[in-house]
Structures are given as C-alpha cells and as structure tokens.
Chains A and B, each alone.
Chain A
C-alpha cells in the first residue's frame, strides 16, 4: 500500500471555478432567449463574436505570460466576461466593438492586473466603459423591440449589419431608436413631465417595453444562482432594495421629474447588474457586510449617474467605482473573530 500524503480535508472538493462559471452561464440563458425574442438574433452573434475574441486574447496573454493554457482556457471565466459584455451592447453593433471591448476586458483589465483572481476591476464593465466612451454613437444604435418595429432583422441581415455596417435601413427605420432611459433623460432635460415622456410607446408597464421582460428573465436566472449558492443574496438584495429605498422618496416628492422606483429597477442593465455583474467575486467584496455596502453603493451611484451624469445608464460606471472601493470596504468590514 502506498497512500498519498496530503493535508486535510480529504473529501473531494464540492466545487470548481469552471463549475461556478458554467452555472452563471446557464443562469443567463433565459435572459438571452428573452433578448432574442424582443430584439432578434443579433445578440447571439454578438455573444459568439465576443467569446471568440475573449478566448483568443486569453490564449495570447497566457502564452505571453508563460502560463498553462488548458486550466485557464477551460475555466469559463473569459466566456462569462464575453457574454456579459455582449449582453450590454446593441445587438447590431459592428464587429470591432466586440474586438475593442474584449481587448480592453481581457488584456487590459484582466491579464495586465495578473490574470484570473487578481483583476481589480470587473473586466466586462471595463470593456463596456471603453467602448461607450470611445464610440457613443455606435453604442446608441438600438433596435426597437418586437411589437414596435415593422419586423426584426433575420440572421442574414443581422450578420450583414454587424460585419459590413450596411442594413436595408428602409425596412428597419427604428434602428437608431433611443432606449427608454435615453428618452427619459432627454425628456426631463427638455422640461417635460415624466408621465408625458412615459406616454411614448417605447415604455412598458414599468420600464422600457420588452426590456422589463428581459429583466424578469435575468432575475429568474439570478434567483436560481442564489438558490444554488453560486452567488450570495447580499449584493442583489442590497442593489434592488437601495434603488427602491432611495428612489421612492424622490419620486414621492417630485413625481414629475423623477421616475417611479419600479421604472428604475426595470430599466437598463440594473437587474442583470444586480445578479450577474455586481456579484462578480473577484472585483467585489468578500465579507457579507461588505457585500451589502457594495451593492448599496452600486445602486446609489447608478441613480446619481442616471440623474446627473452624461450617460443614460450608469450601472457600468457605478460598478467600476465600487470595484475601486471594494478592498477598503473589505478592510473596514472584517467580522469579529471568535473569542475576540
């Protein structure tokens, strides 16, 4: 007999990094399908593109850094980054948006900081921030959701649009349609009432038409992740509760200029951020109290940027700012050790 000598514990581990990342991907599927239903197959093409670029850059950087390719290429972390990025950009964005986004996310935000586990900032959000600052026009080319447009582009037209930039524009007149958050921002700036702005057909029951259903499906996947203990409840609860707690008094005091709390929750990237982006473990907080503060910070900054900032939706910047604060929050929220 020649038993192996390794320290306790001796039971097989319960989880792997790849397992966690895979479950995050599964949880995104309902939201993705809803996205396809409302905006056509563009998002799938964007996801595929982003994954190809992400894995390419990942392999390149691993090679340059002299690391083993296999364990890191198969940990799915780059895939998760790619999918989250793709879900944030318009479905007909040109192909090089993904290229630039993944270059920033994987090379800049991830590997130059030391690779998996060492990045200070959420790679997907770094990628998104770079492209929205660099190419705001391309990032505003949203399609109108299903029931508003005369017809969603098919796969061939989508591919044509993404790779050549040409689209039979006559058929898809809604191509440069503003997102609901955009409309709201410009509307309020033009001194129109929120109720007045909301009478536009692009709004649904709470948020934007279509958008709110996509948010529901993201929330469904997110709740599954909470149930599976892949993410803890702290961040999503903190984000959503803070949004409601802060926007309610503002809405009650000035309903003409401030949207209602449900509209805040169901607009833009808030739900996907609450469950999938702000919950990124590497760039977030690891103490339970710290996660509550982190989530609350994301919510408050998002509201502030939506109200006062130059961009319609501030979730990406809110997450990045809180990423910078995360180490300090962790330091200040250390739990009391037993017996101390």
Chain B
C-alpha cells in the first residue's frame, strides 16, 4: 500500500451497510398536522434592517462560553470574533455588524425560559468596517482536521434548534463504525416553520456544497438530503444543484412524508434506514451523522465565502402576525424588531413562541434576542392556543400511546410521575421521550404531559447526582469506619503485645523470685542439716 498522508481520506468499507434514503420506512405514531407553511413563503426573503442594538448571548450553543476577546467600550468590525473557542465544546460568536460594545450585561434569553444571561450589547454602525474574509479555498484537498478547525472558528453550531457544537459532532471520539453517510435534515415537520424551506429554495447550491464540505470533514462518502413531501419545488431545485455541484452523484434527495415529528433526528433516521439509534447511543453508532440544511449552508458560507455564522433566516409567523414571512436577521436582533418587520401583531399576542407550536419555547417578552438556533418566532392569539381549561383526570383512552413516536406509554408514565414513583418512571424509559408534544396535543383531558416528563427527567437527573453523592458519602464513611477499626485493632494488638510482654516479664520475674526462694530454702535446709 502506498504511504499516504495520515489524514487523507481513503475509500472505506462501510461496516454496517445501511441503505440510507433509497427506501423509506415508517415510524410508529406521529400526527398529521396542518402545515401553515405557505403563509410564510409567499413573500421573498428579505433582510431585516440593522437594529440599533444587538444583544449577543455569550453562549449560543450547548456548552460553556468561549473565551471573551473584547471588553465594554471596544469598537468591533463586522465578522470579528467576540469569543474564542478553546476546545470543540466551545463555539465562538462573531459580530453580526460593525459597531461598539456598549456593555456586557445580563439580558433576557430564551433558554432556560424566563432567565437572563450575559450578553454583549453591540451598538451597531451600518457604515462600519468588515473583517477581511478568511476562506478555505482548497477544502477539497484539505485535511478534515483543518476543515473542522475552520468551521469551529467560524462559529458553527447546529441551526436546527439544538445548537450542538458542530465541531464536536464532526470530530467526536466515537468508536467504530466510521461515518459513511451524512444526512442533511430539511424536513421541517412542525407547522408554521418555513425557514429551511426558504433556504432550500433560495440557496440549494450552498446547501449541497456545504454538505460536501461537512461530508469531507466527517470522512463520509454519501450525502442524503431529506425534505418533506409537499416540497416539490424544493426537490427540483436541490436536484439541479446536486447535478451541477456534485456530478459524481453521491448526493441523494429523499422526500419523506409529512408526519410530525418526522424531522426529529431519531425518527428521520428510522424513516431513511429502517434502523433505530440505540437508546444509549448516537447516530454515529450507525455510521450516520445528522445535520440541519441550514448548518450546511452556514458551513458553505464559512469555508467558501469566509463569512462566520452571524445571521440566519427566521420565520416570523402565526395567526397574530400581520404579514408572516421569512426574515434574514443578524443574530442578537430582538424579537420585537422581527415582529415589527413582519407587519406587527394584528391581535393581542397571547402566546409568544420561539420554535414551532408543538415543541417551541414560550417567551416571556419580546426583547429576547434571536440566536443561532432560532428558527421561528410564532405569535398566537388567545383563540389559537390552549386555553386555561381545567385538567381532567386521565381516562386511559390510549390516544397518547397511539401517537407516541418513541413507543412509550405516556399515560402510565404520567401516573408513575404523579405517584412520585421515580424507579417506575425510569423503567418506563422517561429518558427516551423526545418531548415532541404529540401526546399532550391529543390528550382529551388536557394534561400537560410533556411538562411532567421534563420535570421528571430533572428530578431523576438530580436524584442521580444525589445518589452519586450519597454513594460517595457512604464510601467515605465506610473507609473511615474501616480506618478507625484498623487503628483500633492495631491499638488492641499493641496493647495485647504490651500486656503479653508485661506478663512475660512478670512471669520471668516471679520465676527468678521463685528460684531465689528455692535457693534460699535449699541453703536454709542445708544450714539446718549442717546444724543438726
């Protein structure tokens, strides 16, 4: 075998030969929901006018914040890194616009709901300077390590909503098998959300090329782009793009049905391969990596155009929005500005949601900024959302069992949680709940089931920590007891030794005395005998 660069890609055998996307499978449960997507796709994509102030949370991914590179009062250029990643779990943020850092202070953020987090407040300057673009033009020949490094420094995190650090996903230290297929998830299955559809219509070539960059970084050979059933225009656009960008034909477009939550990572993998991700494992265990189409387009921008991730497409929609549309917005833009750009509210907003209506996060106010994973702002009026109805007892109707895509028993789980039977909740696999909301949506008793499961997961995690702590305390206590016992035994042993020694000495002494006495007695007797 000729010697090669250690990082160069070699044609590899796929250990677990999974056909991805050639045949479609069905996942259990799920719901057919009304899509409401067209409303946001009627108008072309428009750029949000640059807000006066941007509020950039230091953490816009799952993981700790990067190292801060700027201070209050600093002037920054567009695209300048504001934090630096020290490892793959940290993701830097970049200035979406030139301007001045006014302050670093706590500001309301979307997650966890109702909290504040440290944000960089950037007073924007539309005429400010931009950083020179740093591209990676030779990515086709570059080592995967270099691509991953470049993507990380470009601030790439999952744009699908979970904001997982992409570098960590690309370079994870999972064992065999190696990644053979990259799945690009474009099947937005939640109603109203249409940002990925807009992106796929507008920039299909960026998605395909970004997919190739990510596949190169992963060492994957195949790319499967999953889109939803009604997106026929999108399919044509992507197929044309795949033909021009990647003539080798490694890129497959798979059109999946529009059953919610088909776009969930685990459900999508089940639909495309017929295989299930192990409950304690990752898609990587099947040789798959799953990334959002938006992430692929952002990877393209970072590598080809040298533009770090600092803006994204956001769908602003819902019955309470005057002109629902997709907006290209800089990260850190307050939600208020996006709603105003979409014509403002036409009725009182009773529920403001970041994300979709099935699993989105409720927001307390509209000053919250959008971040890398913000795909949709949904404004619902009082009639469009759940009213504060009395919760009825569970009547065991089993609708939740029918719709659960993870094949859980939601109602049994609910009873276990109500009864604070934590072991039972664990045994019923509460941790396998993906919080899609199907069960709560169909529940005729209007039980907020997902809230119960989320709560129970927290309780069990805390209990796990508590258990570990108790276990540690127990071990420490036992070790101490043992130490004390050993010390006591040692002391006892010494005491006994001493006593023995003492006894021995006394015995010797008494022996001597006895001998002396005997000798005396003998000499006395002799004296007597001599005398007689």
The interface of chain A, by Cβ under 8 A from chain B, is 1, 3-17, 19-20, 68, 71, 75, 77, 115-118, 232, 281-282, 284-288, 291, 330, 334-340
Bound Cα distance from A75 to B280, whole angstroms: 42
B387 contact set on A, CB distance < 8 A = 12
Closest to A340 in B: B279
Bound Cα distance from A68 to B113, whole angstroms: 32
Contact B363–A6 (Cβ < 8 Å): no
- Contact partner of B281 among A11, A19, A339, CB < 8 A? A339
Interface with A: B209-217, B233-241, B389-397, which one?
B389-397
CB distance from B446 to the nearest CB of A (A): 5
A68 contact set on B, CB distance < 8 A = 390
B135 within 8 A of A: no
- Contact partner of B357 among A3, A9, A14, CB < 8 A? A9
Contact B432–A340 (Cβ < 8 Å): yes
Bound Cα distance from A68 to B281, whole angstroms: 47
Bound Cα distance from A249 to B362, whole angstroms: 61
The interface of chain B, by Cβ under 8 A from chain A, is 28, 33, 113-114, 191, 266, 270, 276-281, 345, 348-353, 355, 357-366, 378, 380, 383-390, 392-399, 401-402, 405-409, 411-412, 428-429, 432, 435, 437, 440-446, 448, 450-451, 454
Taking A10-B378, A17-B444, A340-B429 as contacts, is the C-beta distance between A281 and B398 under 8 angstroms? yes
Contact A288–B444 (Cβ < 8 Å): no
Closest to B27 in A: A338
B432 contact set on A, CB distance < 8 A = 337-340
List 9 tightest A-B contacts by C-beta distance, closest first: A117-B393, A339-B279, A9-B437, A286-B398, A281-B397, A3-B352, A15-B444, A7-B451, A338-B406
Closest to B348 in A: A1
Contact A10–B385 (Cβ < 8 Å): yes
Closest to B278 in A: A339
Contact A116–B393 (Cβ < 8 Å): yes
B362 contact set on A, CB distance < 8 A = 3-8, 10
Bound Cα distance from A3 to B448, whole angstroms: 18
Bound Cα distance from A225 to B376, whole angstroms: 37
A5 contact set on B, CB distance < 8 A = 113-114, 362, 364
Closest to A11 in B: B357
Contact A282–B396 (Cβ < 8 Å): yes
Contact A6–B401 (Cβ < 8 Å): no
- The dominant DSSP class at the A interface is loop
Contact B396–A284 (Cβ < 8 Å): yes
Bound Cα distance from A167 to B194, whole angstroms: 72
B451 contact set on A, CB distance < 8 A = 7
Closest to A334 in B: B409
Contact B402–A288 (Cβ < 8 Å): yes
Q: Sample 9 A-B pairs with CB under 8 A, ordered by A number.
A: A1-B366, A8-B355, A10-B358, A15-B443, A71-B390, A232-B402, A337-B407, A338-B432, A340-B279
Bound Cα distance from A330 to B348, whole angstroms: 45
Bound Cα distance from A14 to B357, whole angstroms: 14
Contact B454–A10 (Cβ < 8 Å): no
Closest to B410 in A: A286
Taking A6-B386, A10-B351, A338-B406 as contacts, is the C-beta distance between A286 and B392 under 8 angstroms? no
B408 contact set on A, CB distance < 8 A = 337
Taking A13-B441, A13-B443, A287-B398 as contacts, is the C-beta distance between A8 and B393 under 8 angstroms? no
Bound Cα distance from A338 to B401, whole angstroms: 13
Bound Cα distance from A3 to B335, whole angstroms: 13
Bound Cα distance from A117 to B395, whole angstroms: 4
B281 contact set on A, CB distance < 8 A = 339
**Using a Cβ cutoff of 8 Å, how many contacts connect chains A and B?**
175
Bound Cα distance from A287 to B33, whole angstroms: 23
Closest to B408 in A: A337
Closest to B362 in A: A5
Contact A1–B365 (Cβ < 8 Å): yes
Contact A116–B395 (Cβ < 8 Å): yes
Contact B364–A3 (Cβ < 8 Å): yes
Contact A17–B385 (Cβ < 8 Å): no
A6 contact set on B, CB distance < 8 A = 351, 362, 386, 448
Central interface residue in B364, B386, B389, B412, by most chain A CB within 10 Å: B386
Bound Cα distance from A71 to B446, whole angstroms: 13
Contact B349–A3 (Cβ < 8 Å): yes
Taking A5-B114, A7-B450, A11-B386 as contacts, is the C-beta distance between A115 and B393 under 8 angstroms? yes
B366 contact set on A, CB distance < 8 A = 1
Contact A8–B358 (Cβ < 8 Å): yes
Contact A8–B437 (Cβ < 8 Å): yes
A337 contact set on B, CB distance < 8 A = 279, 406-408, 429, 432
Central interface residue in A13, A232, A284, A287, by most chain B CB within 10 Å: A13
Bound Cα distance from A218 to B467, whole angstroms: 56
CB distance from A61 to the nearest CB of B (A): 14
CB distance from B335 to the nearest CB of A (A): 10
Central interface residue in A6, A8, A16, by most chain B CB within 10 Å: A8
Bound Cα distance from A285 to B396, whole angstroms: 8
A75 contact set on B, CB distance < 8 A = 392
Contact B442–A286 (Cβ < 8 Å): no
Contact B351–A3 (Cβ < 8 Å): yes
Contact A281–B396 (Cβ < 8 Å): yes
B384 contact set on A, CB distance < 8 A = 11-12
Contact B266–A8 (Cβ < 8 Å): no
B378 contact set on A, CB distance < 8 A = 10
Closest to B113 in A: A5
A11 contact set on B, CB distance < 8 A = 33, 191, 357-358, 384-386, 441
A20 contact set on B, CB distance < 8 A = 395, 397, 444
Bound Cα distance from A218 to B364, whole angstroms: 51
Taking A1-B349, A10-B353 as contacts, is the C-beta distance between A17 and B412 under 8 angstroms? no
B28 contact set on A, CB distance < 8 A = 335
CB distance from A331 to the nearest CB of B (A): 9
CB distance from B125 to the nearest CB of A (A): 29
Taking A3-B362, A286-B411, A336-B407 as contacts, is the C-beta distance between A17 and B401 under 8 angstroms? no
CB distance from B206 to the nearest CB of A (A): 31
CB distance from A16 to the nearest CB of B (A): 5
Taking A338-B266, A338-B406 as contacts, is the C-beta distance between A19 and B401 under 8 angstroms? no
Contact A15–B395 (Cβ < 8 Å): no
CB distance from B424 to the nearest CB of A (A): 11
Contact B398–A232 (Cβ < 8 Å): yes
Contact B407–A9 (Cβ < 8 Å): no
CB distance from B112 to the nearest CB of A (A): 12
A340 contact set on B, CB distance < 8 A = 279, 429, 432
Central interface residue in B353, B397, B399, B448, by most chain A CB within 10 Å: B397
CB distance from B438 to the nearest CB of A (A): 8
B380 contact set on A, CB distance < 8 A = 10
A281 contact set on B, CB distance < 8 A = 395-398
A3 contact set on B, CB distance < 8 A = 349-352, 362-365
Central interface residue in A75, A117, A336, A339, by most chain B CB within 10 Å: A339
- Contact partner of A16 among B406, B446, B450, CB < 8 A? B446
Central interface residue in B350, B396, B435, by most chain A CB within 10 Å: B396
Contact B277–A8 (Cβ < 8 Å): no
Bound Cα distance from A321 to B411, whole angstroms: 23
- Contact partner of B392 among A1, A12, A117, CB < 8 A? A117
Bound Cα distance from A15 to B392, whole angstroms: 12
CB distance from B11 to the nearest CB of A (A): 30
CB distance from A77 to the nearest CB of B (A): 8
Q: Other than the known A3-B364, A13-B441, A19-B444, what 13 A-B pairs have Cβ atoms closer than 8 Å?
A: A1-B349, A6-B386, A7-B454, A9-B450, A10-B357, A11-B384, A12-B383, A15-B442, A20-B395, A117-B396, A286-B412, A287-B398, A335-B407
B399 contact set on A, CB distance < 8 A = 15
Closest to A5 in B: B362
Closest to A333 in B: B409
